[in-house]
Amino acid sequence: MKTRSSARGEPRRLGNVALLALMLCSVVALSLIRGRFAPIVTSAGDAIKSEEDDAAAVVNKAAAAVGINAGGDEAAAEAGAAGEERDKEDESAAAAVKDAGGASASAKPVCYETSRRSDTCEASGDVRVVGGAQTVYVDTLDREWKTKPYCRKHDSYALSHVKEWALKPLAAAEAAAAPRCTVNSSATAFVLSTGGFTGNPFHDYTDVLIPAFITAHPLRGEVQFLVSSYKSWWVSRYLPIFQQLSRHEVVDVDADAAGEVRCYPRVVVGPTFHRELGVDASKTPPPGFSTSDFRAMLRGAFGLERATAAPSGDRWDIRRRPRLLIVSRRPSRGRAFTNERAMADMASSLGFDVRVGDPEATSDTSKFARLVNSCDVMVGVHGAGLTSMVFLPAGAVVVQVVPYGRLEWLARSTFAEPAPGMEVHYLEYAVQLDETTLSEQYPRDHPVLADPMAIHKQGWNALKTTYLDKQNLHPHLGRLKNTFLKALSLLPHGRDD
Ligand SMILES: *[C@@H]1O[C@H](CO)[C@@H](O)[C@H](O)[C@H]1NC(C)=O
């Protein structure tokens, strides 16, 4: 772990150097300096890669892991197998350097890699979108480009559910019969897909909503979402977010009738990924924005009142007690707390106002968002339900309970690492042998209990079935109490009395 974290510092610094260099290049003389810097970036990336290789096989499945909950077995297996990379800060810099080599020094290419997870295409001019054919004609293009507008670019399973889009020179169409505009708009057209792993809240946010925010936020509402592989229930669930980001109607673009042609001055195809559940402010255009801005937008979308986890100023308000939410799961899905009631009682005895909620059991996203936002501590077992941390007020505490089976790596990349960007405190509670139902299912010397890494080596499916689907938990109240007390000490409640 130590070597890994020290290794990870390196690419970041090199990445920054590379970015700076790149900026210099474009101002002065890109073609001259490029040759000197590109190899540095590349070899740094490679070095890190080899250093992290063994860890990577396991660690990189992290995102996929949460996807498993709703995504189904196949999705899980594939996502795991294809969980290709960590979010390396140097990636886009390296990609940009590489891409800059292809075209003339003046402009970036129409389609370029914005991270290891995402490609984005941008074009301005006479833009004509023929949604039914997933084609965008632009008069300023001199060649055709293709892309799948979903942020899992190396995940073949996810992308098998994402339609490919083409950007073509308008001239090519004019030779035949130029598609005539049936709708004109002055907004930027933004093509994205709700195929892939959507439907699982973790993927909804990390693959689609946050990447879409990164692209749309600077456009200040003058953007029209053209949604490919449109799922109406999905779009309705998150409609308040789209309405915050856009003054224009969300379009089920694949469903456009033949002959329908939507015209714009500019188009972006494909959202931009920065990092798991977060916005990297250093990659945003000036004056810059961050995960905090995303969360502020969410508060606007869902009517969330609390920006910070401060206690109510009214001394008679019951809200003076810190509120603790236990994220519940049905035991049939695995990773459920079997002693939820006792946990709640223990938390009450510490002075918490305790709530229990299952995000999967409610289809009312804004209602659950308001519940989470009203809380100061959120406790849940590793899983997509923890994605609700996006709604917590700043300064709140999230406690991730890590199931038995050496799953710390999974916990880390999915929810531990994004926590600081969300300005929430992060605590972890690792479940021991005497707190898992696995110890009732297997003899003590069975590899499942005695040698979890042997199960990891059997592949993602084995790991998922054993440790994620078939394990329920009953945390030891005495141990858990220490974690809850730690959470309490991190809150502003009581400090001002
Ligand atoms: C859209 O704009 C073009 C170019 O200005 C114009 O020729 C066309 O009639 C407009 N179409 C509609 C439906 O407004």
CA–CA dist 430, 402 (Å, integer): 5
Cα dist. 445→265, 435, 448, 455 in Å?
Answer: 66, 17, 8, 14
Against a cut of 0.85, is the pTM above it? no
What is the pairing mode between strands 118-130 and 135-138?
A: antiparallel
pLDDT on residue 29: 40
Q: Is the CB of 140 under 6 A from ligand 1?
A: no
Q: How far is ligand 1, taken at its centre, from the CA of residue 449, in Å?
A: 68
Average pLDDT per 10 consecutive residues for the chain, totaling 497 residues: 36 47 41 33 32 35 41 34 34 40 56 92 96 94 95 92 95 73 97 95 97 97 98 96 98 95 97 97 95 98 95 67 95 94 98 93 90 97 96 98 96 97 98 96 96 96 95 97 97 69
Q: Considering Cα of 204, then 208, then 213, then 219, what sign does the dihedral take?
A: negative
pLDDT on residue 464: 94
Q: Is the CB of 181 under 6 A from ligand 1?
A: yes
Q: What own/partner pairs with CB < 8 Å and gap ≥ 24 does 452-456 have?
A: 452/404, 452/405, 452/406, 453/406, 455/405, 456/58, 456/406
Among 128, 123, 120, which Cα is nearest to 148's?
120
Can you list the positions of beta strands (E) in 209-290? 223-228, 251-252, 262-269
pLDDT on residue 318: 59
pLDDT in tens, 343-398: 999 999 999 999 999 988 887 899 999 999 999 999 999 999 999 999 999 999 99
SS3 label, residue 443: coil
Q: How far is ligand 1, taken at its centre, from the CA of residue 354, in Å?
A: 58
pLDDT on residue 96: 41
Whose CA is closest to atom 5 on ligand 1? 184
Kindly give, in sequence order, each residue whose CB lies less than 8 Å from that of residue 73, ignoring residues fewer than 6 positions away: 461, 464
Q: How far is ligand 1, taken at its centre, from the CA of residue 184, in Å?
A: 6
DSSP character at residue 338: T
Q: Is the CB of 186 under 6 A from ligand 1?
A: no
Q: How far is ligand 1, taken at its centre, from the CA of residue 181, in Å?
A: 6
Q: Is the CB of 349 under 6 A from ligand 1?
A: no
Whether the ω angle into residue 287 lies within 30 degrees of 0, i.e. cis, is yes
